[in-house]
Amino acid sequence: MTDTPTSAPASTPAPSSTLRPGRLGVLGIVFFVVAASAPLIGITGAVPVAMLLGNGAAVPGAYLAVGITLLIFSVGYATMSRSMTNSGAFFAYVGKGLGLNAGVAAAFAALVAYVTIQLAIYGFFGVVVSGFATGFGLELPWYVWSLLVWVIVSALSLLSVDVGAKVLGVMLVLELLVLVVAAVAILANGGPEGWNFGASFNPTEIFAGGFAGTAGIALAFAFASFIGFEATAIYGEEAKDPKRTVPIATYVSIGVISVLFALVSFAMVTGMGASQVADKVIELSGGLADPAGVLFGLTEQYVGSWLTVAMGILVITSLFAGLLAFQNAASRYFFALGRGGVLPQAMAKTNKAGAPVNGVILTSALAALVMIIFAVAGLDPFANLFSWMSSITVIAIVLVEILVSLAVIRYFMTHEGGNVWSTKIAPALSIVLLGMGLYLLMSRFNLLAGTVPEGVDPSLPESAWLLNPLGWFLVLVPFLALIIGYVVALINKKENEQLVKDFAS
């Protein structure tokens, strides 16, 4: 096994257009991926909303159901990863399986996902830090804090990727530690009603209310909490033994995220009492005005205020970790597109540390521009920047995951490798399951993004697809990116010759 990427051009790339190989092991990649999912943010923000508007005590089962769906998807994804190593990840997989035009289309949709999720986190970061600082008498607008961390994230992204992995590693270990300590303490106490596995993990409870009702709401929020797991392959060119490292990192990442969300959300259900979940969520969160109040309140009750304070600090570091992870992901997509000829060749330049320097600069510039626009327009950093952008992200990711599953089936129709389960059955099953997930996300976009027309209750089944014009535009952004990418590929055929070599290798 050599360190040279299998998808590299026939001629040896110049040092300035090559990511540095052999820098990341399984744990380094897992740190980036799990950090990108920002588990503390998802558990404090998404889980209480899913419990109140979705299927209550069965939310832990909904997270396991989505985790199983993504594990099935990863069977074909991991099998194909042994046949290629490319920093374009989804872009390269779709291109190799479905052809150049489809690959470029998928790349544009994936770029939308990574750019928008980073923007969403910048908005959330500004809100959280602004509120935290106000408690100490330092009142500054949200965008001041967001732009300050933007400088730090941009600087770290220009360093060697393993430096970023070490920073994320420390933060992630602390984040996971406080979540596990809180969960174990609550479960050890047993709460007012004890452990109720039936209420949380019985399939009839998980899917109660149907996809158009409460089950669909919970599953939609669960899908949104897994954003970032697919980024394992983005680091393939920088991994040690990528054909082994990437598949293992993919399975480990999904497993960690699934178990963590299921464990902590089950502990929250136990702490509140399965039959009292809705009432307790309203009480602890102030009617969802402060969703984080649910986990914080339970932690203070069952563990103590010291851990609640630690959680408050780690929410900030969790957001920072997510920013750094998605900055790396987006910049490496720009790098892959530049090297392939879709974007200017300058995007393929790396610095002495092996980081995709122009990809980092472009990613940072886009983030700064959008934050400035939202600040000048007076738009809310949470209700607008965070909610709109994160909702676009999850639709884009699931859309591209479906294309990847199609690509896996098509690729192994003409190539050896894997078996019937990993190359046909699992990818086909994932297409069906992910298709259902995409429907749930789009039909519940009003809840995720807050774009329901005035006067309509977004929690009612009949509210599905009732979006205002802005909502329809936002929900269609990933599809528009897909179309634009396909058209660009058709127009840019001569410049894309390098991609043809990559995908044919």
Overall size of the chain counted in residues:
505
pLDDT digits (tens, 9 = 90+) for 250-299: 888 899 899 999 999 999 999 999 999 999 999 998 887 778 889 999 99
Q: What is the mean pLDDT of the chain?
A: 83
pLDDT category at 231 given cuts 50, 70, 90 is low
334 close to 343: Cβ distance less than 8 angstroms: yes
Which pLDDT value is given to residue 446?
Answer: 80
pLDDT digits (tens, 9 = 90+) for 31-88: 777 776 778 888 988 899 889 888 899 999 999 999 999 999 999 988 887 776 554 5
Residue 456: burial class (beta carbons within 10 Å; 0-12, 13-18, 19+) = middle
pLDDT category at 157 given cuts 50, 70, 90 is confident
Point out the least confidently predicted range of 155-159, 192-196, 400-404: 155-159
Tell me the mean pLDDT in the region 112-127.
91
CA distance 467 to 65: 27
76 close to 449: Cβ distance less than 8 angstroms: no
Which pLDDT value is given to residue 140?
Answer: 94
CA dist list (Å): 264 to 194, 301, 354, 460? 15, 15, 38, 27
Point out the least confidently predicted range of 19-28, 270-279, 297-306, 312-321: 19-28
CA distance 173 to 176: 5
pLDDT digits (tens, 9 = 90+) for 449-497: 777 777 777 666 666 667 778 888 999 999 999 999 999 888 876 556 5
The counts of H helices and E strands in the chain are 21, 0
**Which tokens belong to 259?**
């178990």
Looking at the chain, the whole-number percentage of residues with pLDDT higher than 90 is 39
Which pLDDT value is given to residue 267?
Answer: 97
Question: Whose CA is closest to 357, among 7, 10, 119, 20?
Answer: 20
pLDDT digits (tens, 9 = 90+) for 342-364: 888 899 888 887 788 999 999 99
Question: Whose CA is closest to 221, among 470, 441, 502?
Answer: 441
For residue 111, the SS3 value is helix
CA distance 94 to 110: 11
CA distance 294 to 281: 6
Supply angle C-alpha 398, 401, 407, rounded to 5: 155
Residues 6 or more apart whose CB falls under 8 angstroms from that of 337 comprise 88, 91, 104, 107, 111, 343, 347
Looking at the chain, the whole-number percentage of residues with pLDDT higher than 70 is 84
CA distance 148 to 164: 18
